[in-house]
Structure 1
Amino acid sequence: MEKTKVNERIFLSSPHMSDEGYEMQYVQEAFDTNWIAPFGENVNEFEKELATKVGSKSAAALSSGTGAIHLALRAAGVGEGDIVFCPTLTFSATANPIIYQNASPVFIDSDYETWNMCSKALEKAFKEYPEVKAVIVVHLYGLSADMDKIMEICKQHDVTVIEDAAESLGGYYKGQHTGTFGDYGIFSFNGNKIITTSGGGMLVSNNEEKVAKVRFWATQSRDQARHYQHSELGFNYRMSNVVAGIGRGQLKVLDQRVKKKQYIFEFYKRELSDLDGVEFMPVNEWDEPNYWLSSMTLSGKVRPIEVMEALEAENIEARPIWKPMHLQPFFEKYDFVGTDVSEKLFETGICLPSDTKMKDDDLIRVINNIKGLWLR
C-alpha cells in the first residue's frame, strides 16, 4: 500500500485532475486554435455534454454557480420587492443573488430526515407569504432534498423552483439526477466541488428559450447589431473556452469521483459509528448521494470544535456544518420559518476530510485521531 508522509496535509476537498489527462487534451485544443475567449468549441460541447449527462434539454456554461443562480432568478422574473424562499442551512452563495435582484429571502428550516428544506416548514411559509415568487431548493453536501414533497407543494402554488445542486452533481433522487426537477438547476465547478473547472457553473433547464436568454444576459446582453448595442442590462458571466475544456475532461471522471466519495463515507461510517454520540448524515432509500462531504453530528461528550482542533493540530482539514443564513449578521434581519433543526445541525455538525485523492492510510490517520478523543 502506498503510504503518505505523517504530516502531509489532508484537505477537506481539493481539485483532482484525471490520471488520464483528459483535461489537458481539451485545454491544449483551445490553445492550438488560439481560442481562449468566453466562446468556443469547449464551451458549446461542455454545455451539451453536461445537459446530456444529467438529462436536461439545454444548459448555459457560466463563470460561477452564483452567477447561475442569479440569472435563474432573473429568468424567473424575480425583481425588486419579491419574496424568494431559500433554505437557511446553506452557503451564502445560495442567498446572495436574491439580494442582487433587490428581492427578499425568507429562510426555511431543515428537517433531520434529509438535512435539507423541511416540507412542513415550506407549507407554513406559503401560508404566511402566499405572494412568493420563487423557491430555491438546495441539495446539501450531495444529499437530495425530498423532491416529491417539495415539488408537490410548489406546484400547488404555481411557483418557480430553482434547484441549487452546486454540491450534488452526480447524485440522484429516485433515479433522476438532482438539479433536473425544478424549472432551473444550478451546478458549481468551484475548486472544492466533486468535479472542478477551477471556477465556473452551469444552469440547466428544459426551457431552451429561457436558457438562450440566460446566455444572452451572460454575454453583456449584446444585441445582434454591427455596432455595440444593448437594450437590456447585461452581465459578464460566460465561461471561458479554456475553463470549459477542463470541465469536459472532469466530466469524464465524474462517476469515478462519486464512487470514491461513497467509499470515503462508508469507511468513516464503518469505523466511527460506534463512538458515543456519533451520527452520520442521513442517506434515505430514495437518495443516491454523491457524498460530496462526509458529515456527522456529535451529541456526546466530544464536541465538534474539539475534533476540528485535534485534526488541525495534525495538519488535517475539517469544517463545521454551514452556519444557517438566519443567524448570519447580514441576513438576520430577514424572516425565518421553522424551529431549531438547522441551528442544532450547525451546533453539532462537522464535515470530515473527503478528498478523492485520499488513500486508506489518510483515512486511518483521520479516524485514529478522532477515536483518540473518546479514549481520553
Structure 2
Amino acid sequence: MPKKIYLSSPHMSDEGYEMQYIQQAFDTNWIAPLGANVDGFENELSQKIGSKHAAALSSGTAAIHMALKAIGVEKGDIVFCPTLTFSATANPIIYQDATPVFIDSNYETWNMDPELLEAAFEKYPNVKAILVVHLYGLSADMDKIVEICKKHNVPLIEDAAESLGTTYKGKHTGTFGDYGIFSFNGNKIITTSGGGMLVSDNEERIAKVRFWSTQSRDKARHYQHSEIGYNYRMSNIVAGIGRGQLKVLDQRVAKKKYIFDFYERELGNLEGVEFMPINEWNKPNCWLSCMTVTGRVKPLGIMEALENENIESRPIWKPMHLQPFFAEYDFIGEGISERIFENGVCLPSDTKMTDEEIERICKIIKLLWK
C-alpha cells in the first residue's frame, strides 16, 4: 500500500517550539494543571485574536459547557443551535438539562441561516442563548446574527472550534459573541493533543469559569465546595504544546488555503462539483477542504476510491436533527443541511501533504469522471 495520507493530522512545528515549552514545564516541575504555560497560552491566544480574557480548558466541548453555564442556561431553557455541526456543539446543551432547537443552514455560508434564526423567535420567543458555528473554518454571517441577538437581547456563543485563524470582515471569529470557544483536538488547525479555550471580554465570568473548572474549590485552608465543580482545566504540559503551535498558526492557515485552492483549481470544473462557499467578507482558515457533488459520481464513490489508495476522507457532518439521540427535538428549516450532508465530502487537508500527494488525490478523483 502507498503511504497513508490523513484527513488532518497533528503537525508540530519544524522549529521545535512546542518542546521548548514542554521542557520548561519539566525543568520547573510544573507537570500538573496550571502553571506558566497555561497563563501564557491564555494571554497569547487572547492577544492573537483580540479577546480580553481566556480560560484554558480540557476540550472545546468543556468550553461550550462552561459558556452555557456562565450565561445561566439551566433545565428547560431553549438554546438555538445549528443542525449542521458535530455533536460536541449540541451535547453541552443536554448537560445543562436545556432543550436544543436546531436551525438549518443556507447555501451561501453552509452555516446558520439568519432568516431562519429570526423566524425561530416567532415560535420560541423566550430563548436563553444562541450557539452559532463556523463550519469547517467558514465564518457565519455575523453582522446579521449579531444584529438578531441584540434585537432579542439574547446572549451569543460562537463555536469556533474549527475556525481558529478565520476572520470575518477583518475580525477573528470567536470574538463577536459574548463567548467564543476553540478546540485544539488532534485534527484541528493547531493542536495540543486535546484541549480547548473559552474567550470573552467579561473578566468576571472568565474568572468564574476558571473557578468552576478547577472543582469549584473555595478559598479555605481545607477543601470546601459551595458549588458543583468540574475537572476541566488544561494541564501545563498541554498548554506548552499550544504555545508552540500558536507560533505557526499563520503558516498552517496559509497551507490550508493553498490546499483548498489546489483542489478548486484541479477539480472545480468537473461536472456537478461545487466547493464550499467563500464569501468576500470571509477569510477562512480552510480547516477542511469540502465539496459537494451531484450527478453520476457520488460522495461515497470518491471516498471509497481514495480509501482504496490508503487516503483518508470523510462525509460532511450528519445534521443533528437526523441523529437518533436528537431526533425528538425541534428543527426549523427546509432541508438544506441534509442536502449538503448527502452530497458532501471532506477531502484530505493535512498540512504535511506535498504537491505530489495532492496531485495524486486529484488524479484519483478525476478518474471517476472518465
- Superposed pair shares fold, TM > 0.5: yes
Superimposed CA distance per residue, residues 276-309 of structure 1 (whole angstroms, 9 cap, x where no aligned partner):
0000000000000000000000012100000000
Q: Which residue of 2 aligns with 1:246?
A: 241
Q: Which residue of 2 aligns with 1:226?
A: 221
- Of 251, 267, 270, the match for 2:265: 270
AA matched with 1:135: I
Q: Which residue of 2 aligns with 1:140?
A: 135
AA matched with 1:17: M
Q: Distance in 1 between matches of 2:151 and 2:13?
A: 44
Number of aligned residue pairs: 370
Q: Which residue of 2 aligns with 1:46?
A: 41
Q: Which residue of 1 aligns with 2:18?
A: 23
Superimposed CA distance per residue, residues 84-111 of structure 1 (whole angstroms, 9 cap, x where no aligned partner):
0000000000000000000000000000
Q: Distance in 2 between matches of 1:83 and 1:345?
A: 26
The SS at the match of 2:127 is coil
Q: Which residue of 2 aligns with 1:8?
A: 3
AA matched with 1:274: N
Question: What is the TM-score of this pair, normalised by structure 2?
Answer: 1.00
The SS at the match of 2:221 is coil
Superimposed CA distance per residue, residues 165-219 of structure 1 (whole angstroms, 9 cap, x where no aligned partner):
0000000000000000000000000000000000000000000110000000000
2:363 equivalent to 1:355: no
Compute the displacement of 1:220 (Å): 0.2
Report matched runs for 1:67-216 at 5 Å: 67-216=62-211
The SS at the match of 1:186 is strand
2:278 equivalent to 1:291: no
- Of 328, 333, 336, the match for 1:333: 328
AA matched with 1:51: S
Superimposed CA distance per residue, residues 290-338 of structure 1 (whole angstroms, 9 cap, x where no aligned partner):
0000000001210000000000000000110000000000000000001
AA matched with 1:353: P
Superimposed CA distance per residue, residues 215-266 of structure 1 (whole angstroms, 9 cap, x where no aligned partner):
0000000000000000000000000000000000000000000000000000
Q: Distance in 2 between matches of 1:262 and 1:54?
A: 19
Q: Distance in 2 between matches of 1:303 and 1:268?
A: 17
2:339 equivalent to 1:344: yes
Compute the displacement of 1:348 (Å): 0.3
Mind listing any 5+ residue stretches in structure 2 that lack a counterpart?
A: none
Runs of 4+ with >2 A deviation: none
- Of 231, 236, 242, the match for 2:231: 236
Q: Distance in 1 between matches of 2:310 and 2:173?
A: 34
AA matched with 1:340: G
AA matched with 1:172: T
Q: CA RMSD in A?
A: 0.5
Q: Distance in 1 between matches of 2:152 and 2:357?
A: 49
Q: Which residue of 2 aligns with 1:3?
A: none
Compute the displacement of 1:50 (Å): 0.4
Compute the displacement of 1:127 (Å): 0.8
Compute the displacement of 1:114 (Å): 0.1
Superimposed CA distance per residue, residues 51-78 of structure 1 (whole angstroms, 9 cap, x where no aligned partner):
0000000000000000000000000000
Q: Which residue of 1 aligns with 2:314?
A: 319
